[in-house]
Chains A and B, each alone.
Chain A
């Protein structure tokens, strides 16, 4: 029998969109937990920083590890943007038709599409700026270095917008992935969708709260450290034979 030749690309593109979206969303959860360690103190955040620089494995810090990691995330980010752009309206007419549909239909999940597109578009720029800076200045991460970047280098306005965009986009995206592929569907798809939607709101509120508290903590440190911007953090407390010195 003659073998059927099918175009596999649509399946691959759909898979890439979902897979990169999942990786990025889960990465952002981890990222938020790591940066929020500043709320537990400068020392904790500093230890997390040098952990990612390989200090606890090699005995020395190698910021290049963070650069490579940021580069990999940047690559996934661009791949996701490249395939997800297929879901954008391609001209003004399509945009107005969809806006009109959202307005007249008044349907929750359809409204989320607008926010997904809006935040996704914003992140083309916001995310790229952030990722490029981290990739090329990986050594400038730490309780003081990060706080200085936020306050003295004027990154706080960008981070406020990026935080809003990431948390909305990520949680809507994860919800969409679940209903799109039938994850956690169980026997009653309707009931599980209601639970998923509640979980989505809870996740958004949780990460936005954590994110803004974290940003506030860095801003506070950045303002206090403004006169010494550029100086690096040193762990002041070290423990020697059980005695704090």
Chain B
């Protein structure tokens, strides 16, 4: 009979800081947690808050990779805490809030403000250009394959991982990032959106848009929803180049 292995003691190093506390400075705090079978970082953080330190702040809603709230840097890599199994990690785990977004406290960030600004800037809604809204009019039929393709891009949960992993945005904070480009690709695919290519060019045809992207593909490699960001950015680049070079 094989002896059961003793569970590991995880050392969770959290970067803590409260920007609203004048006396606080960014510092690391270490917690020790006994690992359990199938444990995720979401479980670890709740364990810490419940039994060790109720002042530790972090975000979560769905705990199933759907809401995108628990995004953070795990050993320097942006990911969702609820989808990260501790068994895949070393005993020493470092956690930090996603950079670039407004920090609320500890691991909690205000990504919603940034995302809202992005959506307003890129006008991520259907532009049908009809003067009058006719609620009785039947929606045009769409091929299931196209609907699937649109849905695939619509799976973005705005977690901000692609933004934190983006090398371009580190140097150019006005860059729209993969999340923005993915949204533009989504509306460009949609036949209900009547915007011309020139109108899309006005939104992303510059250094803050698709031509600013340095194709480092951090976005593609960290996206928790595994969206086809590399392909869609390449597609937008080709389309915007054609539009830009057209006389």
A65 to chain B minimum Cβ distance, whole angstroms, is 32
Partner of B234 from A87, A98, A109, A185 at Cβ < 8 Å: A185
Partner of B215 from A6, A89, A179 at Cβ < 8 Å: A179
B34-86, CB < 8 A from A = 73, 76-77
B188-202, CB < 8 A from A = 196, 198-199, 201-202
Binary A-proximity of B164-181 (CB < 8 A = 1, otherwise 0)? 010100110000000000
A105-B218 in contact given A4-B199, A6-B202, A10-B206 (Cβ < 8 Å): yes
Stretch at the interface among B1-9, B108-116, B149-157, B237-245: B237-245
* CB-defined contacts of B28 to chain A, threshold 8 Å: none
* CB-defined contacts of B91 to chain A, threshold 8 Å: none
* CB-defined contacts of B216 to chain A, threshold 8 Å: 107, 109-110, 112-113
Residue of A nearest to B231 (CB): A189
| Interface: A128 (CB within 8 A) | no
B228 to chain A minimum Cβ distance, whole angstroms, is 6
Structural contact, B198 and A6, CB atoms closer than 8 A: yes
Which of A11, A12, A90, A102: most chain B CB closer than 10 A?
A11
| Interface: A238 (CB within 8 A) | no
Interface size class of A (residues with CB under 8 A): 35 or more
Residue of B nearest to A106 (CB): B76
* CB-defined contacts of A113 to chain B, threshold 8 Å: 167, 214, 216
B214-234, CB < 8 A from A = 214-218, 221, 228, 230-231, 234
| Interface: A137 (CB within 8 A) | no
* CB-defined contacts of B230 to chain A, threshold 8 Å: 179, 182, 189, 193
Residue of A nearest to B228 (CB): A189
* CB-defined contacts of B214 to chain A, threshold 8 Å: 87, 113, 176
Partner of A7 from B165, B206, B234 at Cβ < 8 Å: B206
A50-99, CB < 8 A from B = 86-87, 89-90, 94, 97-98
| Interface: B205 (CB within 8 A) | yes
**Which B residues contact A (CB, under 8 angstroms)?**
73, 76-77, 165, 167, 170-171, 196, 198-199, 201-202, 205-207, 209, 211, 213-218, 221, 228, 230-231, 234-235, 237-238, 240-241, 243-245
Give 8 A-B pairs besides A107-B218, A176-B214 with Cβ atoms closer than 8 angstroms.
A11-B205, A11-B243, A11-B245, A13-B211, A110-B167, A176-B215, A181-B238, A185-B231
Q: List 24 A-B contacts (CB under 8 A).
A: A6-B198, A8-B244, A8-B245, A10-B211, A11-B211, A11-B244, A12-B244, A13-B211, A14-B237, A94-B170, A97-B171, A98-B171, A104-B73, A105-B76, A109-B216, A113-B167, A113-B216, A180-B234, A181-B234, A181-B237, A182-B237, A182-B238, A189-B230, A193-B230
Q: Which 9 A-B pairs have the closest CB atoms?
A: A11-B244, A182-B234, A104-B76, A180-B215, A4-B198, A14-B211, A10-B206, A94-B171, A10-B211
